[in-house]
Amino acid sequence: MIELDRVSKRYRGSNDALTNVTLKIERGEMAFITGHSGAGKSTLLRLIPLLERPSGGIISVSGVDLARIPRRRVPLLRRGIGMIFQDHRLLHDRTVFDNVALPLVIAGVPHRELGRRVRAALDKVGLLHKERSEPITLSGGEQQRVGIARAVVTRPPVLLADEPTGNLDPALSEEIMRLFAQFNAVGTTTLVASHDIELINRLGHRRVVLDRGQVVSDGAGGAGGRA
Amino acid sequence: MAGRRRRSLRRRLGAWGEHHLRALVGALGRFRASLAPSIMTAAVIGIALALPAGFLVVLDNVQTVTHGWAGSPRASLFLSMDTNAQQQRDLAGEIRSRPDVASVEVVTRAEALKEFRRYSGFDKALDMLDDNPLPPVLVVEPAEGLRPGAIDQLVAALGARPTVERVRLDRGWVRRLHAIMQLAERGIWVITGLLGITVVLVVGNTIRLDIENRRDEIVITKLIGATDAFVRRPFLYSGLWYGLAGGLLSVVLVELGLILLDGPAGRLAALYNSSFALAGVGLSGALTLLGCGAFLGLLGSWLAVARHLTAIEPR
């Protein structure tokens, strides 16, 4: 589903953020990208929806070489990728409902279908009763769940999460991670960047460890992981 | 297959329409949400449009008033004081027989005095004079469709007559008036152009601030797959609303100004025994102002959007 072939990314005037990263995430797979701060986790995730272009190597999503996607087709690529951020990135002047509805509006889903699909997404993250609230009145965990609802409302084939539990306590973090596992269980290819190694080990799933822009280990996580 | 294609086309058209409607209504909502600054922007546009529009309406009215004067120039032949009635009639008959003359009217000294008393208001002053200071006059109307050159020739020929002391072609000042009005019109268009640029800059700057204020929103919508067109649309509609509101305001301003001028203009017209009444902007004028406002608003926002929106990319 997502393939990186000898991908590198160099920022002007600094060391390589990624060096020769080769990685293949199968359709329907769930994987964690982990490593210390500055190891290149975020950079790797940002290359997939073309928030940045790689300096070298080939990235393809669903068999499409991203280098062949012109600027004006980038929005279409992003519509197929649900993205979740550490700082949620919600619109604070709109209700929870409007935030979650935004991807549907952008994709041109007819007005009469919005309500049903937004409520289905909010229901999955357990926030159906908060639909009229302003995001600012919600707790950090709730805001992150709104962010997740927004990412999955269009049922994208790929879900990317960059440090989704960075600001949450362990119990909430686990709850959020289990939510990702649920979406993965219905076939969404899920890639989560996190430095919470303990939690990742507990959840199992594939674990890709980055160090200074290079893949140093790739395999099943701790207890409960695949062989 | 064809049916599915048609359905998909209709669905896409529907989505397109919904996007526009959403942006249109959303922009109106934002206009209302920040009413005071929005109205101030609209007021700048309104005043900038009202100034040239007001001038043009006034000019239009002046043209209406002077239209009747411009049609047929008439030459007044002032005869020497001692020309008697017979000589006046003879001369009139002679001139009347010319092919380039349409009619000749004799105004005797007594008639001239009577007319002067009636229109000038110098009644008392005239009473103090011992005798009538006014010469007899022949009012000559040249044949219709005469070229300016031919008229000049006619005037020269008439002026050469021994009994004619002076010829005044009352077309001269009409010409000058028209020249002045043309100059005024040209001046108004220059001002209009400058004010139009002002409107574009004001709207452009307002939209630029709007874009800066909503930077986060733009980044987030781009992150989740919004096209440039989708991001651009609300700002373009904002510009459209500013322009329309400004256009509406300018119509109101011009009409208010005309109401203020109507009383004095009516009194002035009454002094000239005219039933002239000021004409307003009218429906077509109002629509033109609205159209100009909308166009300038859209242009200003387009420039701002083209310059600033593509620079905002998610990081």
In a domain, B187, yes or no: yes
State the SS3 of chain B: CHHHHHHHHHHHHHHHHHHHHHHHHHHHHHHHHCHHHHHHHHHHHHHHHHHHHHHHHHHHHHHHHHHHHHHCCCEEEEECCCCCHHHHHHHHHHHHCCCCEEEEEEECHHHHHHHHHHHHCCHHHHHHCCCCCCCCEEEEEECCCCCHHHHHHHHHHHHCCCCEEEEEECCHHHHHHHHHHHHHHHHHHHHHHHHHHHHHHHHHHHHHHHHHHCHHHHHHHHHCCCCHHHHHHHHHHHHHHHHHHHHHHHHHHHHHHHHHHHHHHHHHHHHCCCCCCCCCCHHHHHHHHHHHHHHHHHHHHHHHHHHHCCCCCCC
Same domain, B25 and B93: no
CA distance A109 to chain B (A): 7
State whether residue B226 sits within 8 Å of chain A by CB: yes
- Phi and psi (nearest 5°) for A53? -100, 145
For chain B, the residue count is: 315
Token pair for residue B30?
């934002």
pLDDT of residue B236: 93
For β-strands A30-34 and A189-193, DSSP reports them as parallel
Are B248 and B274 within one domain? yes
Is residue B2 one of the residues assigned to a domain? Answer: no
Residue pair A49/A158 in contact (Cβ under 8 Å)? The answer is no
Please tell me the predicted confidence (pLDDT) of residue A225: 37
Round to whole Å and give the CA distance between B272 and A71: 71
Asked if the structure places residue B223 within a domain, the reply is: yes
Order of strands, sheet of A30-34, starting from the edge strand that comes earlier in the sequence: A81-84, A158-162, A189-193, A30-34, A206-211, A214-220
pLDDT at residue A224, rounded to an integer? 39
Report ipTM (2 d.p.): 0.87
Of B169, B204, B227, which one is at a domain's C-terminal end?
Answer: B169
| Co-location of B82 and B64 in the same domain | no
Count of CB atoms within 10 A of residue A6's CB?
12
- pLDDT over 80 (residue B174): no
- Indicate if B152 and B187 belong to the same structural domain: no
| Residue B160 shares a structural domain with residue B226 | no
B10 domain-assigned: no
| Among B57, B46, B59, B55, residue whose Cα is nearest residue B290 | B46
Residue B11 within a domain = no
Average pLDDT of B188-215? 91
> Which chain A residue's Cα is nearest to B219?
A89
pLDDT in tens, A65-119: 999 999 889 999 999 999 999 888 999 989 999 999 999 999 988 888 999 999 9
Rounded to 5 degrees, what are φ and ψ at A97? -55, -50
Kindly state the tokens that stand for B274: 């005219």
Instruction: Quote the pLDDT of residue A223.
Output: 41
User: Could you tell me if residue B13 is inside a domain?
Assistant: no
B315 in a domain, yes or no?
no
Residues 6+ apart with CB under 8 A from A144: A84, A88, A164, A165, A168, A176
C-alpha B16: how far from chain center: 40
- Are B114 and B185 part of one and the same domain? no
Contacts of A111 in chain B (CB under 8 A): 18
Same domain membership, residue B296 and residue B198: yes
Residue B4, both tokens: 């599915």
Flag whether residue B18 sits within 8 Å of chain A, measured between CB atoms: yes
Q: Judge whether A213 is closer than 8 Å to chain B, CB to CB.
A: no
Q: State both tokens at A13.
A: 């005037």
- Whether B148 has a pLDDT exceeding 70, the answer reads no
Please name the residues between 29 and 88 in chain B that touch chain A, using a CB distance below 8 Å.
Answer: none
Whether residues B225 and A89 touch (CB distance < 8 A) is answered with: no
Q: What is the mean pLDDT of chain B?
A: 84
Q: What confidence score (pLDDT) does residue B68 get?
A: 56
Question: How many whole angstroms separate alpha carbon A206 and alpha carbon A29?
Answer: 8
- Residues B227-242 pLDDT 10s: 988 999 999 999 999 9
- Band of the pLDDT at A37, cuts 50, 70, 90? confident
Please report, rounded to a whole number, the percentage of residues in chain A having pLDDT higher than 70.
96
Q: What are the C-alpha distances in Å from A49 to residues A7, A16, A39, A184? A: 15, 20, 19, 19
**Residue B131 shares a structural domain with residue B88:** yes
C-beta atoms of B220 and A89 within 8 A: yes
Among B149, B169, B189, the domain-final residue is B169
Residues B146 and B276 in one domain: no
Lowest mean pLDDT among A51-65, A124-138, B3-17, B188-202: B3-17
Total domains in chain B come to 2
Q: Does B219 map to a domain? A: yes
Q: Using the CB atoms, write b or e for B26-43: b if 16+ within 10 Å.
A: ebbebbeeeeeebbebbb
Does B140 lie in the same domain as B258? no
Q: Which range of residues forms the domain containing residue B216?
A: 21-69+175-308
What is the C-alpha separation between B84 and B78, in angstroms, rounded?
13
Q: Which of B119, B136, B169 is the last residue of a domain?
A: B169
How would residue B175 be classed by pLDDT, with cut points 50, 70 and 90?
A: confident
d(CA B241, CA B300): 12
pLDDT at B116 over 90: no
Same domain, B33 and B108: no
pLDDT band at B72 (very low <50, low <70, confident <90, very high): low
Q: What integer pLDDT is reported at residue B5 of this predicted model? A: 66
Q: Cβ separation of A107 and B225 shorter than 8 Å? A: yes
Q: Are residues B139 and B46 in the same domain?
A: no
The 10s digit of each residue's pLDDT in A181-218 is: 999 999 999 999 998 888 888 888 899 999 988 898 88
B69 vs B118, more confident = B118
Q: Which residues of A touch B230 (CB under 8 A)?
A: 75, 106
User: Which CATH number is B126's domain given?
Assistant: 3.30.70.3040
Residues of chain A positioned with their CB less than 8 A from the CB of B221: 102, 106
Q: A46 to chain B: nearest residue by CA? A: B315
Phi, psi of B151 (to 5 degrees): -65, -40
Render pLDDT for A127-178 as a digit per residue (tens, 0 to 9). Answer: 999 999 999 999 988 999 999 999 999 999 999 999 998 878 888 898 889 9
